[in-house]
Amino acid sequence: KQEVTQIPAALSVPEGENLVLNCSFTDSAIYNLQWFRQDPGKGLTSLLLIQSSQREQTSGRLNASLDKSSGRSTLYIAASQPGDSATYLCAVRRRGSNYKLTFGKGTLLTVNP
Amino acid sequence: DTGVSQNPRHKITKRGQNVTFRCDPISEHNRLYWYRQTLGQGPEFLTYFQNEAQLEKSRLLSDRFSAERPKGSFSTLEIQRTEQGDSAMYLCASSAPGDHEQYFGPGTRLTVT
C-alpha cells in the first residue's frame, strides 16, 4: 500500500527566504507526482505535475524535483512571499490503470512579512 | 472554462438524514473523481468515473454512499443515514483525455450534528 509522508508538518519563515518542502513515498512504481496548494477551507490548486520519467518541473518561483528510485520529491519555493502561506500537499498516482491519487498530510507554510 | 464546480459549498445536516452533493467537471473532461478530506489530513480517494462508468470504489465508500454520473457529465454523491463521522470536506476533481493532471473543485463541507 502506497504511503506518502510530508516533512515538516509546519514551517514558518520570514518573507524573502528560499525554502524546501519534502515529500516521500513508499512505492516507487508511480506514474506521476503532483504538488498542490490548499488555502484554508478551500479546494486544491494544482502547482506542478512531474511524470515518472522526468526529474524536475519549474513554474515561476516554484521548482519540483523527483527521485523515483529513492521515493522522494522536493518543492523548492524561491523568494517566499506572504501570499505563499498555505498548506502544500503532494500526491502520487500509481503506475497502471489506477487513476487515484494518494496524498500526504501536507505542510502548513507560513511566510511572515 | 470556469473550472470544476461543486454545490452546495456547505451543508449542515442532522444525523440520520440523507444528503446529496453535485459536481460539475470541466467541460470535455472524461474522468471525474471524488475524494474526502478530514481536518489535518490529506484527501482520501473515494471513487472515480470514466465517462458514465464507475471504475473504482474505495473501501471507504460504505453501503451508505452512492455516486452516479449519468450521461458522463455532472456527478452526484449521496450519503444515506449520515453519521457524525461523515463530517468532512468532499472534493471533486476531473481530468481530460490524455491529460493526467487532476483539477479540483472548491469542495463541499459537510457537518453532521
DSSP state, residue B26: P
B103 CB near a chain A CB, below 8 Å? yes
* Chain B interface disruption, residue of A99, A102, A103, A105, most B CBs within 10 A: A99
Please write the tens of the pLDDT for every residue from A60-92. Answer: 999 999 999 999 999 999 999 999 999 999 999
DSSP string, A38-65: E-TTS-EEEEEEEETT-SEEEETTEEEE
Residue A22, pLDDT > 90, answer yes
What is the b/e burial string over B65-102, where b = at least 16 CB atoms within 10 angstroms of the residue's CB? bebebeebebbebebeebeeebbbbbbbbbbbeeeeeb
Q: Report the C-alpha gap between A30 and A51 in whole angstroms.
A: 9
Do residue A101 and residue B45 have CB atoms under 8 angstroms apart? Answer: yes
B106 CB near a chain A CB, below 8 Å? yes
Residues of A in contact with B43 (CB under 8 A): 44, 89, 91, 101, 103
- Residue A102 — pLDDT band, cuts 50, 70, 90? very high
Strand, coil or helix: what is A83?
A: helix
DSSP string, B46-59: EEEEETTEEEEE-T
Nearest to B43 among A31, A46, A103 (CB): A103
pLDDT exceeding 90 applies to what percent of chain A?
88
Q: Which of B93, B71, B67, B69 is nearest to B80 (CA)?
A: B67
Query: Which residues are paired to B11 by β-bridges?
Result: B110
Residue B1, pLDDT > 70, answer no
Residues of A in contact with B41 (CB under 8 A): 105
Do residue B104 and residue A93 have CB atoms under 8 angstroms apart? Answer: no
Shortest CA gap A22–chain B (Å): 15
Alpha carbons within 13 A on the beta-carbon side of A27: 15
pLDDT exceeding 90 applies to what percent of chain B?
83
Query: Which residues are paired to A107 by β-bridges?
Result: A88
Query: Which residues are paired to A24 by β-bridges?
Result: A5, A72
Please write the tens of the pLDDT for every residue from B10-52. Answer: 999 999 999 999 999 999 899 999 999 999 999 999 999 999 9
B25 CB near a chain A CB, below 8 Å? no
